[in-house]
Amino acid sequence: MNNLFKINRSLRTLLLGATLLAASGSYTGALAQAPQREVLDKVIAIVDEGVVLQSELNARLEEINSQALQSGRQLPSEADLLAQVIEALVIESLQMQFADRMGVRF
């Protein structure tokens, strides 16, 4: 009887181990099939307590390109335009933060 108990105990341990192994395999398989995360926006500059987002930069570039196309104006090189627009967005962010600290409300 004592040997039978040891065999049953060993068998239960073996079955428990196999069950856990199978469960962990299906869990990692579920993780591998999980949907990928989608990037919604990116931070392109940290400005004191604020940020400038990629979406803000894109919107401003679209606006500038559209206005230049309508007016027939020639724009600076893409690199120069990008630097100028980022600088303008950083300055605007600083101005808005300063105004907020001074209690100016829009």
Helix, strand, coil % in the chain, rounded to nearest 5 = 70, 10, 25
Average pLDDT score over the chain: 82
Q: Quick check: helix, strand or coil at residue 79?
A: helix
12-37: pLDDT as tens digits = 555 555 555 555 555 555 556 778 88
What is the 8-class DSSP label of residue 50? E
Give dist(CA 29, CA 3) in Å, integer. Answer: 39
Give dist(CA 45, CA 51) in Å, integer. Answer: 6
Rg (CA), the chain: 30
Q: Count CB atoms within 10 A of the CB of residue 13.
A: 10
Model pTM greater than 0.75? Answer: no
Q: Which residue has the tokens 């950083």?
A: 90
71-97: pLDDT as tens digits = 999 999 999 999 999 999 999 999 999
47-62: pLDDT as tens digits = 999 999 999 999 999 9
